[in-house]
Amino acid sequence: MPKPNASHQWMFNKAGLPMVDVVVDPHIANNLRPHQKEGIIFLYECVMGMRVSGRFGAILADEMGLGKTLQCIALVWTLLRQGVYGCKPVLKRALIVTPGSLVKNWKKEFQKWLGSERIKVFTVDQDHKVEEFIGSPLYSVMIISYEMLLRSLDQIQAIEFNLLICDEGHRLKNSSIKTTTALTSLSCERRIILTGTPIQNDLQEFYALIEFVNPGILGSLSSYRKIYEEPIVRSREPSATKEEKELGEKRAAELTCLTGLFILRRTQEIINKFLPPKKESIIFCRPTALQLELYQKLLSSRVIRSCLQGRLENSPHLICIGALKKLCNHPCLLFKAIKEKSCDPVSDEHDESSLYKGLIDVFPQDYTSDTFSETDSGKLQVLVKLLAAIHELNSSERVVLVSNYTQTLNILQETCKHYGYSYTRLDGHTPVSQRQQIVDTFNSKFSPAFIFLLSSKAGGVGLNLIGASHLILYDIDWNPATDIQAMARVWRDGQKHTVYIYRLLTTGSIEEKIYQRQISKQDLSGAVVDLSKTSEHIHFSIEELRNLFTLHEDSTCVTHDLLECNCMGKKDHQNPSSEKPSVSRSCQLGQNHGKPHSKKPLSMSQLMQWKHFSGQHQTLTDPFLERIKENVSFIFQNVTNIQSTGLSTFS
């Protein structure tokens, strides 16, 4: 570890103790990657007060899969045993606060890297109370969930902790909530926030995190708003003058320079070279005739027409969006909602009942939500064929199947039963105490499960599902982070096989519009990104609603149309007699050939560099995609890490 300078020695070594070298235990150090060594040094300098005088906080904001947990374990173990002045240990006790679903994971990681002989960690749960930690000399590290912390706050406040680590610490972005207030009340100066979720566009939330780890460093909230927030926000408004833009850029640079002393952010690009190849495909599935008829009926409803004319004060556009998303997943979800609403005697033009009026007549007379068929849903047809191809061609491989909705997971579960696929499931109803065991069992090579059914909301944090090498994202979320986190469950450290990721979207539907919004959304430059925004917080103009509530029946892929490329373009599709065969090629000459993208999220311009395929118009060399192309209108595909393995993209 770096040695302190003369100023640090003068402040913290009043007794004149001899300086000794602090080293990370070789038992851990021999397994560290370069970026992890850098991270440990960064954390060490922060908590020792060597980066900012008199400040002992840090934010480690590495993306998922870079080993934030390991870096903290290495730091804790080092400081529990060593110290630069007279070799006196810096820490006596450390407190790790984490979401409930990750408590056991933290304990497991300590055991993995240090074994149970070197260190004893205490996890607080229903059977093990804080009092046991206080009364035992064996334990130096306590791991507790945010919920249990609030329940046991009085006892924890009585314990002297020398280091506080808050995992998934972006939940502390509001300084007025109980959790933040409780943690702030602990008399521990050394504080570390871990978050793989950057904070976006809300500079007050950014202030709250900084204030937690290094109180007072940005001054009062009112002065911070005046000096930083207001000029930066104003400079990004379309009407900003040249002077306002210059001032905003200057203040943003100052803020980044100051906070950069104790915030470290690395992207997954630095670890990609250690991972196996990844093939990511965005698959546009043709809607069925039933879906198209129901979709058109919904769009012509009185409720949606009123939304588009701006006549309803409390516009029910979220209800309309929800209905269209259900229809994209499977018409039986819409049928079930119609049946539930038909039992409700209260109805007006604002109500769901009005939206569903007449829809029941579109369904076959003998239709029931319990006897759904895959032939009614374009995406489910593709999914069934894709699962069959994986099971047949790679019988030893396993699949993570993700949805945002419990009702959709129920349909996917019934599909597994129908085809005899063994499965396991983790969703919001799964007890926290069972989650890690479910994950460990699935990851075992002896697991009988072919499919892991996962709710993205329940499994977006901390789950490592490297027992599977295929991941299928069945539906899309407004929040790109929800999808990104779900897709990162399989392509991470420890994965040995080529990873296949498939995102299913219904062609021409609202799902394409949501996807376009995800990839074209502009971030505030220099801001850390908050991925907590959901559709409940999204506001739409009338023009945006018109775009959302438009069905493009004549397009094979609206997203591709927007790129205005001619890779195999509309000409080939519209003129089957053309002598020139349809060939897959990149839309731009500057193809990336599998190299990592820039650090920004995928954008429309980067999508131009992906491979483009028109479903039925060509033979695909990818055997999985070849099996499903009959129900697919268009495919985007990107391959990462191809050069290091000899894999090549398709041509």
Is the pLDDT at 599 greater than 50? The verdict is: no
Alpha-helical segments (H) within 203-351? 203-213, 221-224, 230-235, 242-259, 269-272, 289-299, 302-308, 317-329, 331-342
- Asked if residue 196 is part of any domain, the answer here is yes
pLDDT score at 388 = 95
Alpha-carbon distance of 64 to 142, in angstroms, equals: 23
603 and 515 together in one domain? yes
Is the pLDDT at 576 greater than 70? The verdict is: no
Please name the residue that has the structure tokens 């915030």. Answer: 263
279 and 391 together in one domain? yes
The CATH code of the domain that includes 197 is 3.40.50.10810
pLDDT score at 505 = 95
Is the pLDDT at 132 greater than 60? The verdict is: yes
- Sheet containing 423-426: give its strands across: 423-426, 451-455, 399-403, 470-473, 499-506, 278-285, 632-640, 611-614
CA-nearest of 71, 261, 259, 51 to 165 is 71
347 and 447 together in one domain? no
pLDDT band, residue 190 (cuts 50/70/90): very high
46 and 144 together in one domain? yes
pTM comes to 0.73
485 and 627 together in one domain? yes
Q: What is the mean pLDDT of the chain?
A: 83
Is the pLDDT at 589 greater than 50? The verdict is: no
The amino acid present at 559, given as its one-letter code, is T
Alpha-carbon distance of 124 to 138, in angstroms, equals: 15
Strands 423-426 and 470-473: unpaired
366 and 440 together in one domain? no
Please name the residue that has the structure tokens 């979800």. Answer: 333
Alpha-carbon distance of 513 to 504, in angstroms, equals: 13
More confident residue, 578 or 640: 640
pLDDT band, residue 316 (cuts 50/70/90): confident
- Tokens representing 569 are 């373009």
- Tokens representing 35 are 């970026």
- Asked if residue 151 is part of any domain, the answer here is yes
Which residues partner with 424 through β-bridges?
Answer: 452
Is the pLDDT at 340 greater than 90? The verdict is: no
- Tokens representing 289 are 């005739």
Query: Do 588 and 346 meet the contact criterion of CB atoms below 8 Å apart?
Result: no
- Asked if residue 247 is part of any domain, the answer here is no
Please name the residue that has the structure tokens 């299928």. Answer: 472
pLDDT score at 519 = 74
Tell which phi-psi region holds residue 536, choosing left (phi > 0), alpha (psi between -120 and 50) or beta.
alpha
- Tokens representing 598 are 């820039």
92 and 169 together in one domain? yes
Alpha-carbon distance of 527 to 228, in angstroms, equals: 12
308 and 457 together in one domain? no
Percent of the chain whose predicted confidence (pLDDT) is above 70: 84
Query: Do 378 and 288 meet the contact criterion of CB atoms below 8 Å apart?
Result: yes
- Asked if residue 565 is part of any domain, the answer here is yes
Secondary structure class of 208 (helix, strand, coil): helix
pLDDT score at 268 = 78
* Among 176-180, 208-212, 577-581, the least confident range: 577-581
- Asked if residue 254 is part of any domain, the answer here is no
Neighbours of 27 (CB within 10 A): 13
The CATH code of the domain that includes 389 is 3.40.50.300
pLDDT band, residue 574 (cuts 50/70/90): very low
Alpha-carbon distance of 244 to 250, in angstroms, equals: 10
Alpha-carbon distance of 122 to 557, in angstroms, equals: 53
Alpha-carbon distance of 366 to 361, in angstroms, equals: 11
Alpha-carbon distance of 528 to 206, in angstroms, equals: 8
* Among 192-196, 217-221, 524-528, the least confident range: 524-528
Alpha-carbon distance of 107 to 112, in angstroms, equals: 9
pLDDT score at 47 = 97
More confident residue, 593 or 492: 492
- Asked if residue 624 is part of any domain, the answer here is yes
- Asked if residue 595 is part of any domain, the answer here is yes
609 and 482 together in one domain? yes
Which residues partner with 285 through β-bridges?
Answer: 506, 632
Is the pLDDT at 461 greater than 60? The verdict is: no
Query: Do 112 and 69 meet the contact criterion of CB atoms below 8 Å apart?
Result: no
Query: Do 381 and 631 meet the contact criterion of CB atoms below 8 Å apart?
Result: yes
**pLDDT one-digit tens code per residue, 475-520:** 988 777 777 778 888 888 888 899 999 999 999 999 998 888 877 6
Average confidence (pLDDT) over 577-605? 40
Alpha-carbon distance of 646 to 639, in angstroms, equals: 12
* Among 313-322, 397-406, 561-570, the least confident range: 561-570
> Phi and psi (nearest 5°) for 505?
-130, 145
191 and 305 together in one domain? no
Q: Output the furthest CA–CA distance in the chain (Å, rounded).
A: 90
CA distances in angstroms from 641 to 103, 359, 535, 592, listed in the order given? 33, 48, 34, 11
- Asked if residue 622 is part of any domain, the answer here is yes
Number of domains in the chain: 3
Neighbours of 130 (CB within 10 A): 21
| Residue range of the domain that includes 568 | 271-285+375-520+552-640
The kind and range of the H/E element at 452 are strand 451-455
24 half-sphere exposure, CB direction, 13 A CA radius: 25
pLDDT score at 569 = 42
346 and 384 together in one domain? no
396 and 343 together in one domain? no
Is the pLDDT at 575 greater than 50? The verdict is: no
